[in-house]
A and B are shown apart, each in its own frame.
Chain A
């Protein structure tokens, strides 16, 4: 019986697999602000101030300092795309949910889409119109 130690098997090929838990650092939210009386308008600075106010109500000064960006803002429809780093998504979303009024006017935030990729917010299957 020949001892097989002379015929050594080649060392296994090194195989490396990198798994990202979350490939994106930021989350993007498409939101729309709805007022009870529909004629109310806000500038983009007032819009951001409103969100900071909501964060301060629920999470205090530490929450109000959460760095988020308003990437686009449409004054007519009061809809915007927000960018927040992934660790702060839950805080931002919960404070938007619990915001009830602005300057004694009742309002509500409707969250249309949330995605870790900005490209996904360009299309929405609910608003997709088939053109023939």
Chain B
């Protein structure tokens, strides 16, 4: 089988300032990551990762980012992510850092992981949240996603077989 294989890095943008995630854009992130790789790995790293580098998915509310790069050079990209310390947009500079959650060979595996991760995060939020309206709304969303579990399990089982063949 001759095809270009990629690695998808699922990352989370963590920052103290809530405005930081709101000004997250694809172009801003693209330039930021490319500069970080150029600083960390030089001309060679910048060129190697820039061949098939794209921001595939971006969620401004949760700060989840999906980056894609070639399989041979994903370690260059992965090792350059901790060197990103600030997000600059329209003259505003926010300190932040990238937390890599998952590395997958296909978008589908990353999506499955993200669904499980979000489910776990909701439970953690429910524990940390004090009593009140927020707690009620979180509890409702937890109940709604857990009721659909049997259906989603069937879908994920059939999806995982396809992923096993897609990976290699």
Contacts and interface: CB of A to CB of B under 8 A. Distances in A.
Interface of A: 55-63
B64 to A, nearest CB: 27
Interface residues of B, number: 10
A83 B122 CA distance: 55
A62 B40 CA distance: 6
A60 B37 CA distance: 8
Nearest to B36: A60
B45 interface: yes
A44 to B, nearest CB: 24
Q: Top 4 nearest A-B pairs by Cβ distance?
A: A60-B42, A60-B41, A59-B42, A60-B40
B41 A62 contact: yes
Contacts of B37: 60
Contacts of B38: 60
A122 B47 CA distance: 39
B39 interface: yes
B43 A57 contact: yes
A50 to B, nearest CB: 16
B121 to A, nearest CB: 33
Contacts of A55: 42
A93 to B, nearest CB: 13
A38 B37 CA distance: 37
Contacts of B40: 60-62
Interface string B19-49: 0000000000000000001111111110000
Contacts of B44: 58-60, 63
A106 to B, nearest CB: 19
B82 to A, nearest CB: 12
Contacts of A56: 42
A63 to B, nearest CB: 6
> Interface centre among A56, A58, A60, by most B CB within 10 Å?
A60
A55 B42 CA distance: 8
Contacts of A63: 41-42, 44
Given A60-B45, A61-B40, 5 more contacts: A55-B42, A57-B42, A58-B43, A59-B41, A61-B41
Interface in B46-92: 79
Contacts of B41: 59-63
